[in-house]
Amino acid sequence: MADLAVKYMGLQLKSPLIVGSSGLTNTPEEIRKCEEAGAGAVILKSIFEEQIHSEVNQEMQTANFDMHPEAAEYIQGMTRDRSVSKYLSLISDSKKAVNIPVIASVNCVSAGGWIDFARKLEEAGADGIELNVYIFDIDHRDDSKEIEERYLHILKAVKSQVKIPVALKISSQFTNLASIVRRLEFDGVDAVVMFNRFLHNDINLDKMKVTPGHGISSPDEFMVPLRWIGLLSHETRCDLCGSTGVHTGEQAVKLILAGAKAVQVTSALYLHKIDYLKELNAQISGWLDKNGHKSVNDIRGKLCGKDPSIAKIFSRFQYMKYLLER
C-alpha cells in the first residue's frame, strides 16, 4: 500500500489529511478520535485575539482596540466559557492524549498585546501555531498596502516569540496573492494555508432579515485553492496547505498534484463524522496504488504551474478562451 506520510511545517505526519480548526478539535477526546480515524495532525479550535486581550486587560473597557459594545459583551461571555488557561490545558492535555502533531490556532487581526501569548502556546506543548489572520477592513481611508503590512507584522511578531513552526491561514482575496505569499515566505512563514473560508450572509425575503450564511462548504469551493496552489507551489519555498471544499480523497490528491504539502478537512467531517477520515485516506492510497505511485511525495506538484501549458489553464487565458469561444 502507498505511503501517505508527509512532512508539513517541518512536522512528520503519517497522512496528509489534517483536521481543520473547528469544534471537532475542541477536546482531547475529540482529538484522540481524529488520531484513531487517521488524521495526520489537528488544528485546534481557534482562540481569538480579543479573548486573549480581554483576559490580559481584565476589563474590556481598557482594551486597546475599538469594539462595538455588543461585540465586547459577547466576547466577555466567550472568555468566561473558554479562558486562556483552558486553551493552554487543551494543548497540554491533547499532547498527552495523542501522538500526532497538535497545532494551536489564533484568530487575530493585529500584532498587539496578545503576542506574548504565543510563547505560552509553545510552552504548553503546541507543535506549531496556525494564525488565522482575518482582517475585514471596510474603512475606505485605509490603504491596501498598509493592511497587507499588518499580516507581515503579525507573522514577524509571533515568529520572534517562538521556535515552533508558524503557519498563516489567509483569505484568497488579495490583489496579488503571489506577492503576499512571497513576502510571508521572506519573513519566515513555515506554511501558508490556502484558504480561510469567510462566513457570508444572505437575506431572508419572507422575514426581511439579513441572515448568517452557511458554515459548511460545498465541494465546488475546492477549485479556488486548487487554482492558486497550482499557480504558486512551484515558486514557493514554504509549504502550502490546501483548505476549503475538500470532501473526497480524490480532491486531496488533486491538491497534492497541484503542489500542496497537506490538506485540511473540516466540513466533510461535520457531514460524515470523524471516521470518514478512514475513507478519505483509503481513497488517497487507492488512487496512488491504482496509478502505480509508491507515495504521496511521488506525486506532489506533478500538475502545477511550472509547466507553462498548465499555468495557462489556471490563469486568465482559460477565461478568455472560454468567453471567446461562446
| Sites of contact with ligand FMN (CB under 6 A) | 20-23, 45-46, 105, 107, 132, 169, 196-197, 215-217, 243-246, 265-267, 270
Nearer Cβ to ligand FMN (23/77) = 23
* Cα 312 off chain centre by: 27
Residue 320 Cβ, how far from ligand FMN at the closest point, in Å?
Answer: 29
Nearer Cβ to ligand FMN (115/170) = 170
Nearer Cβ to ligand FMN (107/236) = 107
Nearer Cβ to ligand FMN (79/266) = 266
Whether 213 and 239 have beta carbons less than 8 Å apart is answered as no
Residue 43 Cβ, how far from ligand FMN at the closest point, in Å?
Answer: 7
Whether 171 and 145 have beta carbons less than 8 Å apart is answered as no
* Cα 287 off chain centre by: 25
Pairing verdict, β 262-265 and 17-19:
parallel
Residue 288 Cβ, how far from ligand FMN at the closest point, in Å?
Answer: 21
Residue 104 Cβ, how far from ligand FMN at the closest point, in Å?
Answer: 11
**Cα dihedral 202/205/206/208 (nearest 10):** 80
Whether 104 and 128 have beta carbons less than 8 Å apart is answered as yes
Which amino acid would we find at residue 114?
W
Distance CA 44, CA 162 (A): 18
Nearer Cβ to ligand FMN (245/301) = 245
Nearer Cβ to ligand FMN (54/244) = 244
Instruction: Give the containing element (helix H, strand E) for 193.
Output: strand 191-194
Residue 316 Cβ, how far from ligand FMN at the closest point, in Å?
Answer: 26
Residue 112 Cβ, how far from ligand FMN at the closest point, in Å?
Answer: 19
Residue the block writes with cell 470523524: 274
Whether 189 and 202 have beta carbons less than 8 Å apart is answered as no
Residue 290 Cβ, how far from ligand FMN at the closest point, in Å?
Answer: 25
Q: How many CB atoms lie within 10 A of CB 25?
A: 28
Nearer Cβ to ligand FMN (146/201) = 201
Q: How many CB atoms lie within 10 A of CB 64?
A: 10
